[in-house]
Structure 1
Amino acid sequence: MRNLVAAMLLVLLIAGFALAEGTEPRAAGGPAPFALKGASGASAVNTGEKTAPPEVVDSGYVLGPGDLLGISVWKDEALTKDIVVLPDGIISFPLVGLIKAAGKTLAELKAELEEKISHYVPEPVLNVEVRQVNSMIIYVIGRVNSPGRFVINTNVDTLQALAMAGGLNPFAKRDKIRVFRTENGRTSMFPFHYGDVADGRRLEENIPLKRGDVIVVP
C-alpha cells in the first residue's frame, strides 16, 4: 500500500510538472511530444526497452528481478548454473533450494550461498557474478526523440540516459529537465540544466541514475 501511494504521488507530481510547463505546437513532420497517460491522455510512443552495453558489476550491486546471475562452485559442474532472478526476487540453486536474491548485494548473496552449500560441500570455492543487468530500469519521458523505458548499467548518468533516448527534440525546455526519484516512500526531484552540463558546468547535476528514476523533459 505504501509503495502504491508513493507511485501515485509520483505520477501526480510529474503530471503537475508537465501541465505547469504548458504545451507547444509541433512542427510538421516533427516528433510528437510524449506525456504520461492521465496527464494529457497520451500514452508512451515507445515502449520497447533499450539496453546499455554490458559492464562489470561490483560486489556492492543490489540485485533485482530479471538480473542474470552466473553461480559456480569450483570443480563441480553440477553446481555451475546461469540463473535469472524471478519476478518475486527468488532464485533456485542445487542443494540450497529457493533463496531470496532481490534486495541483497552480490556479496551478501554469495555469503549466504556459501554458508548453505558448506553443509554439503566442504570449504566450497564459490563464484557469483552478474552476467547481465536487467533490473536497472529507468524512464525518459517528454520532449526527447525516443522516449520510453530503458534498461541501464549501474554507471549511467542523466546526460547519457538522454542520449539513449535519442536526444532532445526542438521544443524541449533544455534547462527545465527534472529527475524524479522515489526511495523509501519519498519522492525527490533533481534539477538538470542540459545546456550547462553539456558545456561542462553544473556537473554535480549530472547524477548517476538509480533503479526506477524518471527523467522528465518538458
Structure 2
Amino acid sequence: MKKRWFSVCVVMLVFMAGAAGAEEAFRIGPGDVLEISVWRDESLSRKVVVPPDGIISFPLIGDIAETRLTVRELRTVLTQKLAEYVPDATVTVMLLEIRSLNAYVIGKVNRPGEYPVSMDTSVMQLLSMAGGLNPFASEKKIHVLRQTDGKTRKIPFNYKEVLKGINLGQNILLQRGDVIVVP
C-alpha cells in the first residue's frame, strides 16, 4: 500500500510540475497584429501591427516598447499610462493575428522554409510540416539553433531515436525563431 501511495504522489508531482511550466504566456513580437480599444472612446481605438523594433505608438502616451510583453501586460501598461488623460479607462488589447511565432527548417528536408508554429509545436511536428527528411539526410546529426540572451545554443536531435521512441526528451517544444538544421 505504501509503494502504491508513493507512486501516486510521484505521478501527481510530475503532473503539477508540467502544468506549472505550461503556464508561460505568449509574448507579443514584431509582425503581430493587435486591436487596442478604449471603451467609449473610438478616437483611442485602433489596429496596430507591431513594427520590427517592437515599439508601438499610441495617442496621448506616445511610444511603448512592447518587447516581450504579454497581451495582459500591455493592457496594464496602456491603462496606467492613459490614466493621466482618461481616468478609469477600460482598455482592451486583442491579439488578432500571430505573425511573429515562426520557426525554420533548413537542409535535407522535402520542403525547407519558414513555418508558423504554436507554443506547443515540437521538433518532430515541424519536420513533418516540412515534408519529412529526404533520403540523403543525416538522421543522427540534426540540431536546433536557438537564440537565448544574445547567444546561439546548439541543441542536438537524433531523429532515429525519437522515431523508435527512445530518448523522447530531445523532441523539445520550439520557440520563436528556432532553426532546425538537417545536414
Question: Does structure 2 conserve the Cα–Cα contact (< 8 Å) formed by 1:106 and 1:128?
Answer: yes
Report which of the two has the higher share of strand: 2
1:61 CA displacement: 2.1
1:152-182 C-alpha deviation (Å, 9 max, x unpaired): 2322221111122121111112232111112
**Would you say the 8 A contact 1:133–1:153 is kept in 2?**
no
Q: Secondary structure of the equivalent of 2:160? A: helix
Structure with the greater alpha carbon radius of gyration = 2
Q: How many residues align structurally? A: 161
Residue among 180, 189, 204 paired with 2:169:
204
Distance 1:192 1:185 in 2: 22
Q: Does 1:149 align with 2:149?
A: no
Which residue of the other structure, out of 157, 161, 168, is the alignment partner of 1:192?
Answer: 157
Alignment partner for residue 133 of structure 1, among 98, 105, 110?
Answer: 98
Q: Is 1:172 the counterpart of 2:130 in the alignment?
A: no
Instruction: After TM superposition, give the deviation of residue 83 of structure 1 in Å.
Output: 0.6
- The gaps in structure 2 that reach 5 residues or longer are 1-22
The answer to whether 1:74 aligns with 2:42 is no
Of the candidates 124, 128, 134, which is equivalent to residue 163 of structure 1? 128
- Counterpart of 1:90 (choices 38, 44, 55) is 55
Give, in whole Å, the separation in 1 of the partners of 2:165 and 2:84: 55
- What secondary structure sits across from 2:74 in the alignment? helix
Give yes or no for the alignment of 1:102 onto 2:67: yes
1:140 CA displacement: 0.6
> Residues 160 and 215 of structure 1: is their aligned pair in 2 closer, same or farther, counting only changes over 3 Å?
same
Percent identical pairs in the alignment equals 48
Q: Decide whether aligned partners of structure 1 residues 91 and 59 sit closer, same or farther in structure 2, where only a CA change above 3 A counts.
A: farther
RMSD (CA atoms): 2.0
Instruction: Report the TM-score, using the length of structure 2 for normalisation.
Output: 0.77
Determine which structure has greater relative contact order: mean sequence separation of CA pairs < 8 Å that are 6+ residues apart, divided by chain length.
Answer: 1
Distance (whole Å) between structure 2 residues aligned to residue 99 and residue 121 of structure 1: 17
2:154 counterpart SS class: strand
Q: Is the contact between residue 85 and residue 91 of structure 1 (CA under 8 Å) also seen in structure 2?
A: yes
Following superposition, the deviation at residue 189 of structure 1 comes to 1.7
Aligned to 1:112: 77
CA distance in 2, matches of 1:181, 1:200: 24
Whole-angstrom CA distance in 2 between matches of 1:139 and 1:201? 25
1:188 counterpart SS class: strand
Name structure 1 gaps, 5 residues minimum.
1-57
**Which residue of 2 is the match for residue 122 of structure 1?**
87
- Of 71-80 and 152-161, the range deviating more from structure 2: 71-80
